[in-house]
A and B are shown apart, each in its own frame.
Chain A
C-alpha cells in the first residue's frame, strides 16, 4: 500500500494559482484513478450487446413514458373539471382532477428518475475508482506566515503602547453584551395569582357550555355529563378579550349514585351525587371529558391519563400525577346549582411557583 501514502505536494490551497512557487500540484494526480486490487466483474450489458440494447430500450421507454405522462397531465388539467368525482375501491370517493393530476405528474418525474438510475446502473461505466482525500492542514511555512502577519499587525496598530485606546476598547466590548441580558426581562413578569385563580367564586351559578343556561340538579340524572362554566364567563371574556378565563374555569358535572362515591376532596362538596371537576388535565392542560359513566373514569385524550371521578378524581393511570381539582357546589334559593366556593387548589398543569 506504499502508493497510497499521502502526497504532501498534493494539498488543497485556494491561493495555489497565485503562488509563484514552482511547487504547483500536479493536476493529473488529483484525478480519480482506477482502483487496484479489486476484482472488477463486468455486467451482462458490458459483455452482451443484446442486453445493452435491451437496457437502452428500457431507459428510452421510461423517458418516453415520462413525456407521455407530462402531456397527459396538461390534457387532464384542461379537460377534467375540478368538481368531477371518482369512486375507487380502497380510497372511496375522491376528486378525479386531484387523482389524475397527482398520478400523471408523479409518474412523469418518477420515470425520469428511474430511467436515469437504470441508465447509470446498466450502461454507464461502472469501473471502481479511487480518489484521494485532500489534506486540510496548511503547509508549515504558511502557518508561520499567518502568525507573522498577526504579529506585524499588532505592532503596527500600536495596541501595546496606546493604553487608553486598549482599555476603552476592552471596556466597550465587555459592556456590549449587557443589552442582551437586560432584554431577558421581557420574559416576565413572573405570574402572580393568575395561575392559581379562576373565575369561580362563591355563589356563581353553573351554566352549560355553548347555551349558557343555568342548571337545576334535576336536569342532571345519574349517568349524565355536562360541560359547564360560571355564569359570568362571557362578560369576563368580553372584558379581557382573551380566552384565558374560559380556559381556566371550564368544568364538567357528572352525577352518580351517592353510594358509588368512594371519596371526595372535601366533605359534602357534591350536591346529591352531582360532582363538579375542573375540565383541565393536571398533566399538560388538555380539556378532558371522555367520561365513562359506568366506571366513572375520565380519560385524557392527549396522553391517556385516567382519573377516577368516584374517588376524589385521583390520577390512576398515565403521566398525570395530581388529581383534578373539585369545585364545591350547592343549590341557591331559586334551586339552581351554584359554586359553594372557588377552586381550593390551582387547576391545570403544574408550574414552578405551585406549592
Chain B
C-alpha cells in the first residue's frame, strides 16, 4: 500500500514536473543528454573565447561558478555569443533556441556551482506581488542605473545600464541573482526572492505605462525634454521669425 502510494506520488511529481518545465526549469544539470548536447554547442560557439574547460582567456572571463542563471540570461537576451568585443555586450535576437540554451546552461553549470535558472512557476507569481513594495525596492536598488522609468542610463567608459522594457520576468530575476557585466548582484538574503518578484511586478507595471502626451522622448527626464524644446521648439520659432521678416518678391 505504502509502495503504491509512493509510486503514485513519484509519478505525479514527475508528470507535474514535466508539465511545469515546458520552458524553464530549475533542476537542469541532472540530465546527461542535455549536458552532452551542451558540451557540443559550447565547443562550437563559446570555447574560442571562454576556453575549452570554461577557464576563460584574454577574450572572455572564466565561466566556472557563473551558474545556469547567468548562461540563460546572457544567451537568451542575445548578449552571448558576443557580436563584437566592446565596452558593452548589446541585447539582440538570441542565436540559440530555448532548448539549446538550457543545454548550454546545463553543461556550463558543471564547471562550478552557481545560481540556477529560477523555476517558471515561481517567477509567474510576480502577478501577486505588491507594486508599491516593488516600487520602493526598485527606487532604492535599481533606479540609480536603470532610470526611474526603466529606460536605462549611462555608466563609465562606454558602458551603460540597458533599458528594461524588453527584459522578461525570468531575465530580470536572473540579472538580479547573476549580476551580468557591470551590474552588481543582489543576494537572496538582502533582497529576498519575494522582494525580487515585487521588483519584477513594478517593472511590468512600468512597461504598461502609456504616454498620454504623445512622444515619450525616451522617458529620460527633464534634460531630454529641455533639449527637445530648445532645439525643435526654438528652431520652429526661429523659422517663423525668419519667414515673417523675409523679403517678398
Contacts and interface: CB of A to CB of B under 8 A. Distances in A.
Interface string B142-161: 00110000000101110101
Nearest to B144: A289
B200 to A, nearest CB: 15
Nearest to B215: A91
Interface in A174-216: 208-211, 213, 215-216
Q: What is the predominant secondary structure among interface residues of chain A facing chain B? A: mixed
B209 to A, nearest CB: 10
16 contacts: A43-B248, A43-B249, A45-B248, A93-B210, A93-B211, A94-B214, A98-B214, A122-B248, A126-B248, A208-B191, A213-B190, A220-B190, A287-B144, A289-B145, A293-B183, A306-B156
Contacts of A20: none
B144 A295 contact: no
Contact of B156 (A91, A93, A98, A292): A292
B53 interface: no
A219 B212 contact: no
Q: What is the predominant secondary structure among interface residues of chain B facing chain A? A: loop
A224 interface: yes
Given A208-B190, A210-B141, A211-B192, 4 more contacts: A210-B140, A219-B189, A226-B186, A294-B182
Interface in B174-189: 179, 181-187, 189
Interface string A212-239: 0101101111011111000000000000
B194 to A, nearest CB: 10
A70 B220 CA distance: 34
Contacts of B144: 287-290, 301
B156 A215 contact: no
Interface of A: 43-45, 85, 90-95, 98-99, 102, 117, 121-122, 126, 208-211, 213, 215-216, 218-221, 223-227, 254, 287-295, 297, 299, 301, 306, 317
Interface residues on B, range: 35 or more
Contacts of A221: 185, 187
Contact of A293 (B137, B179, B191): B179
Nearest to B161: A290
